[in-house]
Amino acid sequence: MRHSAVSGWHFLALSLSLGAVLLAGCAKNASPQPSGPSGPSAPMKSPSAPVQAADGKTIFASNCIRCHGANAQGGPGPSVKGKPVKEIVTTVTNGHGKMPSFKTRLTAAQIQSVADYVSTLK
């Protein structure tokens, strides 16, 4: 009887440890996912997620590089280097010309984070 009780506790401890490791791994590798009709590259809004300084760079890499280039110097889309932060926020939020609006794809905090990141590029 004692042997099965020890095995039961070991099984429970192992199960809890494995669950904790899996949850930690999921949280670490979490990334924005497509949201409905916005398209396959549109990250899902997550207003509860804290916006960190590096988020602007990550969001820019996921959404902006293909048109504005790795350093915002331009590509198919115009250069956005040196633009005022407020102008970047307005353009990303509402769109302009061929650029679509990102207000349904990104939170206001994520858009601000991108604008802040672009303003650091030299």
Q: pTM to 2 decimals?
A: 0.57
pLDDT of residue 118: 93
The answer on pLDDT for 83 being more than 90 is yes
Each residue's pLDDT tens digit, 1-59: 555 555 555 555 545 554 444 444 444 444 444 444 444 444 444 443 445 557 999 99
Q: Residue 62: how many CB atoms within 10 A of its CB?
A: 16
Distance, CA of 35 to chain centre: 13
User: What pLDDT is recorded for position 34?
Assistant: 42
Domain extent listing, the chain:
1-30, 36-120
Average pLDDT over the chain, rounded to an integer: 74
The confidence band for 122, taking pLDDT boundaries of 50, 70 and 90, is confident
Is residue 109's pLDDT more than 80? Answer: yes
Q: Is 98 helix (H, G, I), strand (E, B) or coil?
A: coil
Domain spanning 36-120, CATH architecture: Orthogonal Bundle (1.10)
